[in-house]
Chains A and B, each alone.
Chain A
Amino acid sequence: MRETVETAYRHIISHRIRILLILSVLLFISFIMGISIGPISIPILDVILCLLGLHKDSFAAVIILNIRLPRVLVSALAGACLALAGCLTQATFRNPLASPYILGLSYGATFVLSIAIVYLDAPFAFLPIFAFLGSLLAISLVFAIAGSSWDTAALILAGIAISAFFSSLTSLILYFAGAKAYVIIFWIFGGLTGVSWNVFWVVFLGSLPILIAVAGLAGKLNILMLGDDIASSLGLDVNNIRLLAIILASLLTAIVVSYLGPIGFVGLIVPHICRIIVGSDNRFLIPASAMFGASFLTLVDLIARTAIAPAELPLGAIIGVMGSPYFAYLVRNRRRLLW
């Protein structure tokens, strides 16, 4: 009896590890595709030579090394961050339909960014700081409003209030903004236009501590899923773990949103699909979501920049168009959701 349970467990684990390996291969393939394919066609041989450091002076090298490589790296990193933020938010609110944006941080970011552009004339390079601070502002206000109990319902309702507040203020600013409104509206579309190595390093260094923190949290999130009573009786500080998870999710999302604008649905779709593939065990769900999210965003960005080349499709808009029907499908079939 004990033998069969152990072997069954081992089977499941090795099955999941195999899936993780497949996902990492998928990520690698997306990476290669992202670097080789683009609005300007560059033969594969040249791509490999440029990556190896030869062919330094050709414009192909400049494109590959300075445009595509940072862009693919950032899209992979951003996809991973958003997917992880989605996992954490869904674990916290114990609802597979929660997304990292429900606490209104994208509206907070847009609001502070609009003020910076319209009234403060901030240099472009500093705008991500304002967006980031705007996200933090929204989250802090949500916590302040939700009161000392900080239960999930209060957080969501406070999130709705804050979202409405900031989005209305942003509308007012846009109304009087004049030509500068264009910059803000372009940011709202979301996308990886203009991503350079500088963007990669900031996003990487900013998200690295969070990724370390998340890695340590996987086991505790598993316990959290058993229910508040059982989790507390197993010694888990339920409220604090939940709050930590929200803070980490919000920071990951804030970092991505500051540079790329609000890109929705990645944090919703990716964890859900991964849950179907690897199950709800967070030790596997978290790496799986990260890798799948990275591949997902890289491939969608690839489509965005090649579909109507030389023009680009706005990333946030495409994902929204793809994601909303899927989200509606999830809402319809929520009784059959794996949770």
Chain B
Amino acid sequence: MEIVTQNWGGQMVIKREYILVMASILCFIVGVIVGYLVIPKSTTQQASIIVVDDLGRTVTLSSPPKRIISVASAATRTLYDLGVLDRVVGVDKYSDDPPEAQNKTIVDPKNSEGILSLNPDLIIAWWYQQSYLAPIEEVDIPVIYIHPQTIDGIMNDIMLIGTAVGVPDKARQLVADLRVKLGYIEDLVDNLTETYGRPYVYVELYKPYKTIGRDTFTHNMVELAGGINIAGNLTGYPTLSDEYIIQADPDIILYESDSLTYDDFASRPGWENITAIKEHRVYYLDRHIATASPRFIEGLVFMVEKFFNVTVDLSSIGVPMKLSTQNGNNYTANVILSQRIFFGVPIYCEKQ
């Protein structure tokens, strides 16, 4: 390959075509870098809300958003729990919790035109959707990406979403309430595992043999509920083999696919030897409570109940709520903050 040649004057010069080749490579690489530096545009408006999303991006809003689009199903539920679902104008097709969310306009996150036609002033999306929401970022519409990988991550996202939509106090209250409940469950699980040990758990997602690795929040939930995830030494969403599962011999099987039953699992080759099958401890796990919304607490309760055959009642656990009646009187509800099982005797702590 001759890149360098002799010109008429006898000098060695680079052939014109190869100069163009190098120019092209240079333009491309420089172009991408410049594009990256230019895209986070500075807004000249007054920023009354400033948050940092899970991708480390600083997002500013000039006022609380009134037309929110959520293409992350967990965020839709969080918006509902924060009481701002009426401000949501568009959701994606997976945001079916609560069911009335599906009455909003259904948008496809890959279709920027559909999103823009709803004239949104805030978009909440999953972290991996950034590649197709780039044109929306470019027109200065605030986009928040969430990437919850642990239960703490879920609570951070609740705070993030609550602050972004302008109800930080509500979000703080919600998170505080969840934390108290979480603390209660942790104490409960401590006691239960001391007495009964930790069961091995196999969680099957929507696809047969697909399970959760240690870097997912569902795994975090299982471990917090006192179980041991049989795929806990793997990462991501691995697909296991029959041998692995039989050898791991889970005590509990949780599955999210709503088209399967116990018989489907029992009829798999060799599975009749698995403890969970023999003891009929195969349970359907509603994916709406095993997701990154405030309902994860229900998922935790479900898991603890199934793992240890107990009943967990959180109705009296939580942060003291300030209630006010119609005639304007204010009351403070006495709420049980935590319940410890101390030598088998429940002890209640009350907060005034």
Q: In this assembly, does B271 line the interface, its C-beta being within 8 Å of a C-beta of chain A?
A: no
Q: In this assembly, does A210 line the interface, its C-beta being within 8 Å of a C-beta of chain B?
A: yes
Could you tell me the distance between the alpha carbons of A182 and B109 in the complex, rounded to whole angstroms?
15
Q: In this assembly, does B28 line the interface, its C-beta being within 8 Å of a C-beta of chain A?
A: yes
Q: Provide the residues of chain A in CB contact with B16, threshold 8 Å.
A: 213, 216
Q: Is there contact, CB below 8 Å, between A181 and B108?
A: no
User: Closest CB-CB distance, A128 to chain B, in whole Å?
Assistant: 5
Could you tell me the distance between the alpha carbons of A70 and B131 in the complex, rounded to whole angstroms?
16
User: Closest CB-CB distance, A280 to chain B, in whole Å?
Assistant: 22
- A interface, size bucket: 35 or more
Q: Is there contact, CB below 8 Å, between B131 and A206?
A: no
Q: Is there contact, CB below 8 Å, between B31 and A66?
A: no
Among listed A5-13, A102-110, A196-204, interface-contacting one: A196-204
| Candidates A68, A198, A212; contact of B138 at CB < 8 Å | A198
Q: Provide the residues of chain A in CB contact with B1, threshold 8 Å.
A: 143, 150, 240, 243
Among listed B43-51, B112-120, B194-202, interface-contacting one: B112-120
Query: With contacts defined as CB atoms under 8 Å apart, how many contacts are there between chain A and chain B in the complex?
Result: 160
User: Closest CB-CB distance, B128 to chain A, in whole Å?
Assistant: 5
User: Closest CB-CB distance, A323 to chain B, in whole Å?
Assistant: 23
| Candidates A59, A179, A309; contact of B111 at CB < 8 Å | A309
| With A67-B113, A196-B134, A206-B27 as contacts: A247 and B36 at CB distance below 8 Å | no
Q: In this assembly, does A62 line the interface, its C-beta being within 8 Å of a C-beta of chain B?
A: yes
| Candidates A180, A199, A217, A247; contact of B128 at CB < 8 Å | A180
Could you tell me the distance between the alpha carbons of A311 and B110 in the complex, rounded to whole angstroms?
7
Could you tell me the distance between the alpha carbons of A247 and B24 in the complex, rounded to whole angstroms?
11
Q: Is there contact, CB below 8 Å, between B29 and A251?
A: no
Q: In this assembly, does B289 line the interface, its C-beta being within 8 Å of a C-beta of chain A?
A: no
Q: Which residue of A lies closest to B1 (CB)?
A: A243
Q: Which residue of B lies closest to A181 (CB)?
A: B236
| With A67-B135, A198-B134, A240-B1 as contacts: A251 and B21 at CB distance below 8 Å | yes
Q: Which residue of B lies closest to A127 (CB)?
A: B131
What string of 1s and 0s marks CB contacts (under 8 Å) between B222-233 and chain A? 000000000000
Q: In this assembly, does A43 line the interface, its C-beta being within 8 Å of a C-beta of chain B?
A: no
Q: Provide the residues of chain B in CB contact with A208, threshold 8 Å.
A: 24, 27
Could you tell me the distance between the alpha carbons of A194 and B17 in the complex, rounded to whole angstroms?
33
User: Closest CB-CB distance, A311 to chain B, in whole Å?
Assistant: 5
Most buried by B among A67, A129, A177, A180: A67
Q: Is there contact, CB below 8 Å, between B119 and A59?
A: yes
Which 9 pairs of residues, A with B, have the shortest CB-CB distance? A178-B236, A206-B28, A202-B31, A194-B132, A125-B36, A209-B20, A198-B35, A213-B20, A209-B23
Identify the B interface with A (CB < 8 A): 1-2, 16-18, 20-21, 23-25, 27-29, 31-33, 35-36, 38-39, 106-108, 110-114, 116-117, 119, 128, 130-135, 138-139, 213, 215-216, 235-237
15 A-B pairs within 8 Å (CB atoms) are namely A59-B117, A66-B116, A67-B116, A67-B135, A125-B39, A128-B32, A132-B25, A178-B213, A179-B128, A196-B135, A206-B25, A207-B24, A213-B17, A240-B1, A258-B28
Known: A67-B116, A206-B31, A216-B16. 10 other contacts (CB 8 A): A129-B28, A129-B29, A136-B25, A182-B128, A183-B128, A202-B28, A209-B27, A210-B20, A244-B18, A251-B25
Identify the A interface with B (CB < 8 A): 38-40, 59, 62-63, 66-68, 70, 123-129, 132, 136, 143, 150, 176-183, 186-187, 193-199, 201-202, 205-210, 212-213, 216-217, 237, 240, 243-244, 247-248, 251, 255, 258, 305, 309-312
